[in-house]
Amino acid sequence: MPGIDDFTRPVEYLSPLDRSLGEIVRSWAEKEVLPYRREYDEDWEEHRLIEPAFDRLMGELGLQRVLFPEEVGGWGLGHSDYLGTGSYRMFEEIARADSAMAVAFGVVFWPLIMICNEPHVNMRLCEEFAPMFIETNKAVFTANAMTEPQGGADIENMDLLGGSTIETCAILEGDEWVINGHKLWPTNSAGVADLFGVVCTTSPGSTDPEEFAFIFVPADTEGVTQGKPYQKAGMAADKNSDIWFENVRVPSWYRACGPGDDFKYFKEIISLGSMGTIAFVSGAMMNIYEILREFCEEKTFRGRPLKENDDVAGVLADFVRDLEVIRVIGYQAARMMDRPDLYGDRWSEEMVAKTRAFKYFAADKAVENVGLVMNLMGAHGSDRVRDVEKHWRDLKIVQLWMGGKQLCQMEVARWFFDCETL
Ligand SMILES: Cc1cc2nc3c(=O)[nH]c(=O)nc-3n(C[C@H](O)[C@H](O)[C@H](O)COP(=O)(O)OP(=O)(O)OC[C@H]3O[C@@H](n4cnc5c(N)ncnc54)[C@H](O)[C@@H]3O)c2cc1C
């Protein structure tokens, strides 16, 4: 009988680690998350139940180490040919159980991309930060602090606005950066993360790429304060809050790549973020397929299983069609991240545009489909016992982040149509 493993994946370019990563994460998710995820949903403020589950995945099973180079005790994914496809598999398997857990886990890699990935490994910072992640059995998180009160989309709109709207300011005083600013929304804020990657400007209002700075700040540095977690519609395992930086001092060498290169490689964060988002979507949809399958076999209409009715079968087929396509483009995005020799640099405008196109297609289709699935299930779709309503709440949120749909559209149109003003 077909199941989730029968959806298409481009097997000819999967990571050699694919099977083992898949098995590790699936067995963790089935034991630690699927039976409890409804309780996790209520645990958004404290993370009393969520935290031990993360400890097992990230600390005990060691998955928080994967990106770091082997020389500092990592698994070397950041310089392997399987950065994209290896990450995709982990994120998708986690998202099948809980897309918010996949986000919180995926974001651990986000700022680390700046220092762990070839060809811009910053070995000094890898040596400095790797022990935090490697010498412990507890989950250790990072956060990527970009969004500010005046707008997140403009900050990510790198090629048009060149960082000119960033207000968080870093000034070099002797051998220290002094940082002042206010960030909103970073995944793993509200006290979860131990280390922040902070998007700053060294000259407010400037569009000069050399003034864009990506600086690491340990969360316990004097002058850092965080708010309480926001109460969102879903995504309970992902805590988000305000972060304030008030005369925060860190060593000058905590800047990730240096003038010009911080700007350049930050766009790799965008491409990989879009790719990861597709994995969160396809993972959640795989689980909706499982739930839907069971429901349409058990539930009858005029004496026949629901799935044996023409109209219902049409909805089921369209769902599968869209999941097939989302998965194929998700793995294609991952492959494009793995093979810059074939597809171009991960930080190129082309990769930013193409991965954003894939991402907003996937998110839009998922939101559309989960609505149709709920129509099909009727009142049962809203029943928390079945968990479809959880995916419905979570998937809507996926559509909104990283500048939302509008920024994706602007960046795609800009690259493919050579637009000059958006
Ligand atoms: C669960 C979750 C996790 C998140 N994680 C992170 C994180 O890890 N790090 C982080 O820094 N942020 C994070 N965010 C914030 C998120 O990325 C931003 O909310 C998002 O980028 C949009 O920014 P904004 O809310 O400031 O909206 P704005 O930028 O103010 O935009 C408001 C609306 O206007 C639209 N818009 C913007 N510009 C234009 C334009 N020129 N033309 C037409 N429409 C436009 C936008 O698409 C949006 O719909 C997260 C958000 C959520 C919900």
Which two structure tokens, joined as six digits, stand for 23? 């098995």
User: Can you tell me which atom of ligand 1 is nearest the CA of 238?
Assistant: 1
DSSP state of 255: B
DSSP state of 159: H
Residue nearest (by alpha carbon) to ligand 1 atom 49: 404
Q: Do 185 and 268 belong to one domain?
A: no
Identify the residue whose C-alpha is closest to ligand 1 atom 38. 153
**Phi, psi for residue 300 in degrees, rounded to 5:** -115, 155
Q: What is the pLDDT of residue 1?
A: 84
Beta bridge partners, 226, equal 243
Amino acid identity for residue 21 in this structure: L
Atom of ligand 1 nearest to the CA of 147: 11
- The amino acid present at 183, given as its one-letter code, is K
Cα separation, 247 vs 239, in Å, equals 25
Residue 386 lies in a domain: yes
Tell the burial category of 319 from Cβ atoms under 10 Å away from its Cβ (0-12, 13-18, 19+).
buried
The residue whose CB lies within 8 Å of the most ligand 1 atoms, and thus the one to mutate among 272, 401, 410, 412, is: 401
Same domain, 152 and 8: no
- Report which protein residue has its CA nearest ligand 1's atom 1: 397
Q: Is 27 helix (H, G, I), strand (E, B) or coil?
A: helix
In degrees and rounded to multiples of 5, residue 305 shows phi and psi of -50, 145
Specify the pLDDT at position 422: 79
> Which of 259, 289, 318 marks a domain boundary?
259
What is the total count of domains within the chain? 3
- In the chain, the amino acid numbered 95 is A
β partners of residue 217 = 196
Is residue 186 in some structural domain? yes
Q: Give the Cα separation of 194 and 346 in Å (integer).
A: 27
The residues lining ligand 1, judged by C-beta closer than 6 Å to any ligand atom, are 107, 144-147, 151-154, 185-187, 235, 238, 240, 397, 400-404, 406-407
Residues 233 and 277 placed together within one structural domain of the fold: no
Mutation choice for ligand 1 from 407, 408, 410, CB with most ligand atoms inside 8 A? 407
Cα 70 to its chain centre, rounded Å, is 24
What pLDDT does residue 255 have? 98
> Of the candidates 204, 232, 259, which is a domain's last residue?
259
The answer to whether the CB of 363 falls within 8 A of the CB of 405 is: yes
Last residue of a domain, one of 100, 123, 140: 140
Dist. CA 268–CA 348, nearest whole Å = 8
**Phi/psi of residue 226, each to 5°?**
-130, 150
The answer to whether 50 and 37 are in contact (CB under 8 A) is: no
Residue 249 lies in a domain: yes
Tens digit of pLDDT at every position of the chain (422 positions): 899 999 999 999 898 889 999 999 999 999 999 999 999 999 999 999 999 999 999 999 999 999 999 999 999 998 889 999 999 999 999 999 999 999 999 999 999 999 999 999 999 999 999 999 999 999 999 999 999 999 999 999 998 999 999 999 999 999 999 999 999 999 999 999 999 999 999 999 999 999 999 999 999 999 999 999 999 999 999 999 999 999 999 999 999 999 999 999 999 999 999 999 999 999 999 999 999 999 999 999 989 999 999 999 999 999 999 999 999 999 999 999 999 999 999 999 999 999 999 999 999 999 999 999 999 999 999 999 899 999 999 999 999 999 999 999 999 999 999 998 87
* 90: containing domain: 4-140
Alpha-carbon span 230 to 222, nearest angstrom: 23
CA of residue 386 to ligand 1 center, whole Å = 30
Q: Answer yes or no: do 117 and 157 share one domain.
A: no
253, 385: one domain:
no
Residue 271 lies in a domain: yes
Atom 20, ligand 1: residue with shortest CA distance: 403
Q: Within a domain: residue 422?
A: no
Ligand 1: residue of 105, 155, 185, 393 to mutate (most ligand atoms within 8 A of CB) is: 185
**Residue 350, token pair as written in the block:** 């082309």
Give the mutation target among 183, 269, 406 for probing the ligand 1 site: most ligand atoms within 8 A of CB.
406
C-alpha–C-alpha distance, residues 369 and 165, integer Å: 36
Rounded CA separation 393/237 (Å)? 13
CATH number, domain with residue 187: 2.40.110.10
Does one domain contain both 103 and 197?
Answer: no
Nearest CA to ligand 1 atom 45: 406
- CA–CA gap between residue 197 and residue 401 (Å, rounded): 18
